[in-house]
Structure 1
Amino acid sequence: MNRNIMAIFLAALLLFNLLQPHRVHAAAMSDEELRILQDSLSIIELDREIARIEVQQEEAHRTAEQLQLELERKNEQIHRSREQAGKRLAAYYMGERESLMAAILSVNSLKDFFAVMDYYQIIAERDRDVLDAYKSEYAGIKATKKKIDNLSVELAGMKENLLKQRARISELQNSVQGVLSASSDPEKLAALIRELGMYWENVGLYEVRRYFRELASAMADFPDFLQEHKESLTSDRSGYTLIVREEDLNSFLHGKSELLKDMSFQFENGLIIAKGKRDSLELQLEGSYSVVNDPENCIKFHVERLIFNGLELPDTTRNELEQDFDLGFYPKKIVPFVEATEAAISEGTLKVKLKLGL
């Protein structure tokens, strides 16, 4: 029993040390410490991005192999269909259907005439089925070939991205090693790097994703905003204008989530800035809006900067969060039959221009 109590105590002590704010926060750090922690955090995230790309590559290779097998099967099917279709067409042009025409002309009764016509109709329908099957198989093989071509392009892009991230990691690792070698207290810096890595992988990344998840959930309910602030939408000759005020957005988001009450949102020139602090975690998110029409019209949010405990996360992390969590909103869910044409952020307000869509 004493051993169990001691194990629990040691685990709690380790977690307490891990969560100490001053050890993983950029405040009150020297430029040397800040630089090496910034690079170390980027290395962790680039490593994670490389692992993610490698998983995508494996999945893409498996899909490519499956598509190749499907293509071979379709090639066999289309070969058989082509032979059958060729025989049918040859029969028409080489006169093998003349016997049918002769049979029709030689009938002696209306009953026999209709019997021959029924038989001819069956043959004609069978011919059409063979030709339609050939066309269907041909369309299928073209579609499969296109999928393989597209996948090849994606794989090439993944490979290029993988090489790029590995080069970035190598450069950062050299930078970190150079700072450690020149440091007057390399052991202290190495300990800071380890603690930051543990804190980020065990707490930080989870918490950042949790904030993004709550934001995405709240923005999915953005049509509710108009119900609370009907005066925000006005009409004119060209369509509608939606004006979102900073204080109204804060009130709306705070009402959607307890977690988001820790954050404040500001509109500045061209940017929306969200800042939050809870326990030993500080998060700052900066982003912008743009009008996107593919695959559908929406006001898309772009993550421009992401700062965790004073350390800026790399572009790979921003891109991943932007893809995983949709922080935009969709005008058609606010007012049917409208499309956004412009989104502009000024001091304290977001203005969205809407036009009637056909």
Structure 2
Amino acid sequence: MRSLYRVAGILLLCVWLGGSPWLRVYAANDDEIKLLMQKGLTVFEIDQELARIQVEEKSLVQQSAVTEQELELQTIRSEQTKRHAAKVLRAYYMGDRDSLWMLLFTISSFKDAIATLDYLQMIINNDQESLKRHSDNQQQLTTIKQSLATSQAALQQTKARYLSQREQMVRLQGEIDENLSKQQESTLILQQMAQLTLLWQEKGVPLFKTYFQALSIAMKQLPEIISADNNGGGAKHLIINGFQYTFQITDGELNEFLRSKNKLFHNMTFRFTDTEVIASGVQEGMEISIKGKYSMVASGEGANKGKAFIRFTITELLFNGFELPHSTIAAMEQEIDLGIYPQNLAPFLVVTGLKLETGKLSILLKMVF
């Protein structure tokens, strides 16, 4: 917390001095200072992650408390239905129900027969209902127990993640304090660290989110490329070989497509290598870089449940040459979906593989009936 108060103080100093927080004032050629600033940005982002974890932990605690109450009530209901079910089964085992059927042999009129049959049918229905209620309550009890176990496991994982992130932040802050104590221009360095953090918070985060949201929308419109091919009478992007299909797109074609969808992508360039996808650009004087990988996932969620798709996993985010921590990447990936869904190309196609090479992405598909 001491570091946060110090950063806040430096930010106020920047405002008081009238300096612009949007300038790239860090000493890019000074590796030691740049490393300090990298650690400072990482500490800030870890602190943001800790705040997110605390919110998540609070929600899980509340969820567990509600589930525990449901479990308690369901246990009471289950015991009640269990007693009723036991009485029914005991009655059948002891032959009590057999004696009821003997009533049919004492009937002297058709009217009595109808009334007796109705009475017997009511008893049977009640017996079946009692047994069914017990079975349903047992299933609900099992489901609630499983839900509680899942919530408690998630809570433990969340607490462990919090402690791990907290430990990392304390370690990095200690390194920052130690290195700053050796610097003659520690006040200036702190000011540069604060300016970088403020620039990231006020401009960098919204910029990345804007790009990701625009990219998510555009990638869902990717099948339009095939429609354009069909209108042109060609099969440039979807190659057909019997029941096997291959969707191919070059990084140049991807850039052209994205720029046709959103002018924001005029400031960004995508390129394929044999191992990853790299996007980089400059917006309002800020340099951003995104690296990631495509991988085939066996089953999607929601509307795409049960259907394989291509997932894009972010491996690196750079802002003005500074790397953002994994926690920042994970938080952004929760908000956006940059996957490719072949079923959107054609509902009868399923993905069987993918191939990434320099300048080109190929998705292998097959027809299903």
Runs of 4+, deviation exceeding 4 Å: 10-14
Q: Is 1:270–1:344's contact at 8 Å kept on the other side of the alignment?
A: no
TM-score (norm 2): 0.89
Q: Is 1:289–1:344's contact at 8 Å kept on the other side of the alignment?
A: no
User: 2:216, 2:254 → 1: CA distance?
Assistant: 14
77 and 235 in structure 1: CA distance in 2 versus 1, 3 angstrom threshold = same
Deviation at 1:191, TM superposition (A): 0.6
1:154-193 matched pairs, under 5 angstroms: 154-193=154-193
Q: The residue matched to 1:254 in structure 2 has which SS?
A: helix
Deviation at 1:13, TM superposition (A): 9.4
User: 2:250, 2:75 → 1: CA distance?
Assistant: 60
User: 1:223, 1:130 → 2: CA distance?
Assistant: 55
Q: The residue matched to 2:107 in structure 1 has which SS?
A: coil
Match of 1:310 among 321, 328, 351: 321
User: 1:12, 1:184 → 2: CA distance?
Assistant: 23
User: 1:205, 1:70 → 2: CA distance?
Assistant: 40
Determine the structure 2 residue equivalent to 1:231.
Answer: 236
Determine the structure 2 residue equivalent to 1:205.
Answer: 205
1:74-85 matched pairs, under 5 angstroms: 74-85=74-85
Deviation at 1:355, TM superposition (A): 2.0
Whether 1:23 aligns to 2:25 is: yes
1:267-286 matched pairs, under 5 angstroms: 267-286=272-291
Determine the structure 2 residue equivalent to 1:7.
Answer: none
13 and 264 in structure 1: CA distance in 2 versus 1, 3 angstrom threshold = farther
User: 1:13, 1:139 → 2: CA distance?
Assistant: 67
Q: Is 1:39–1:172's contact at 8 Å kept on the other side of the alignment?
A: yes
Determine the structure 2 residue equivalent to 1:96.
Answer: 96
After superposition, the C-alpha distances for 1:3-41 in whole angstroms (9 at most, x for unaligned) are xxxxxxx98995x70122x226x7x44112210111111
1:1-358 matched pairs, under 5 angstroms: 17-20=20-23, 22-23=24-25, 28-229=28-229, 230-237=235-242, 239-295=244-300, 296-357=307-368
12 and 206 in structure 1: CA distance in 2 versus 1, 3 angstrom threshold = farther
After superposition, the C-alpha distances for 1:100-144 in whole angstroms (9 at most, x for unaligned) are 212111112233222211111111111111111111110000000
* Matched residue count: 345
CA RMSD of aligned residues (A): 1.9
Q: The residue matched to 2:96 in structure 1 has which SS?
A: coil
11 and 171 in structure 1: CA distance in 2 versus 1, 3 angstrom threshold = closer
Q: Percent identity?
A: 29
Deviation at 1:178, TM superposition (A): 1.9
Q: The residue matched to 1:108 in structure 2 has which SS?
A: coil
Unaligned runs of 5+ in 1: 1-9
User: 1:33, 1:49 → 2: CA distance?
Assistant: 24
Determine the structure 1 residue equivalent to 2:6.
Answer: none
Q: Which amino acid aligns with 1:242?
A: F
Q: Which amino acid aligns with 2:187?
A: E
Q: The residue matched to 1:165 in structure 2 has which SS?
A: helix
Q: The residue matched to 2:181 in structure 1 has which SS?
A: helix
TM-score (norm 1): 0.91
